[in-house]
Amino acid sequence: VSDASGCSMIALLHTGAAKFPPNLLSRSRQAVSLLFPAGVLEGFRSIVSRKLASHGFGASMAAMSSFPPQRYHYFLVLDFEATCDKPQIHPQEIIEFPILKLNGRTMEIESTFHMYVQPVVHPQLTPFCTELTGIIQGMVDGQPSLQQVLERVDEWMAKEGLLDPSVKSIFVTCGDWDLKVMLPGQCQYLGLPVADYFKQWINLKKAYSFAMGSWPKNGLLDMNKGLNLQHIGRPHSGIGE
């Protein structure tokens, strides 16, 4: 997620004027206004240009000049991995908890939170889970419980200044599953509270479909393809993707 999705919506801006029909370009400007903070168009054009160039885009950023600023200083890119099998096991439990703190003005990663989590209900990972995620049994054995990991997330959020009311940040996920289904469902099962900062997020699939006019059925892979971006990282690996 760290580089490819960090560039995806910028690439959307960059290619919009040339590739989008007028109605979709207008909608894309509205969608991107949700993702970029005040002043985003100032001071990082060269950085973004280099990122886009590395993914096959030209250096011109002229198409960005007309897009409105928006309110977030930081994007917290999150992608859980959880216990799984075919047929699906219940309840699923989070086994990888990664967060990338992305500066909304520079599009650079400023900090990373990453921990593996010990599953409790189904402590033994299935072969399907290991093949899908690349997470082996030794990675989760003896790791902190979800409760302990959530406590460390809160400590990390405080250390990074993300709990300061004047700092506006929001989680970004590829779909609603992570924060609408997985985390609250497991917290309810374990009797744990869900912090308020986990209750709002940007679903990149929705932003993409609003801007592009089509739903990315295969998630990040479809979004990268639609934006002519090369996928970076291992699919279904939280920190790797």
Condensed to tens digits (0 to 9), the pLDDT of residues 9-26 reads 444 333 333 344 445 545
Residues with Cβ < 8 Å from 102, sequence gap 6 or more? 6, 74, 75, 76, 77, 108, 109, 110, 172
pLDDT in tens, 176-202: 999 999 999 999 999 999 999 999 999
pLDDT exceeds 60 at position 40: no
Task: Give residue 182's Cα distance to chain centre.
Answer: 15
Angle at 205 between CA 200 and CA 210, to 5 degrees: 100
Compute the average pLDDT of residues 31-42: 45
CA–CA separation, 139 and 137 (whole Å): 5
The partner residues of 94 in beta bridges, in order of sequence, read: 82
pLDDT exceeds 70 at position 59: no
pTM of the model: 0.73
CA–CA separation, 171 and 101 (whole Å): 9
pLDDT exceeds 60 at position 228: yes
pLDDT in tens, 107-141: 889 999 999 999 999 999 999 999 999 999 999 99
Residue 61: what residue type? M
Q: Which of 55, 73, 81, 241 is catalytic?
A: 81
User: What angle do helix axes 4-19 and 45-54 make, rounded to 10 degrees?
Assistant: 90
% of the chain residues with pLDDT over 90: 61
Looking at domain 74-204, does it have CATH number 3.30.420.10? yes
Residues with Cβ < 8 Å from 222, sequence gap 6 or more? 216
- Per the annotation, the verdict on 236 as an active-site residue is yes
Q: Taking all residues of the chain, what is their mean pLDDT, rounded to a whole number?
A: 79
Between residues 188 and 241, the one the model is more confident about: 188
Query: Contact 15/29 with Cβ under 8 angstroms?
Result: no
Helix, strand, coil % over all residues of the chain, rounded to 5? 40, 15, 45
Secondary structure letter of residue 57 according to DSSP: -
Q: How far is CA 213 from CA 14, 18, 130, in A?
A: 17, 16, 35
pLDDT exceeds 60 at position 166: yes
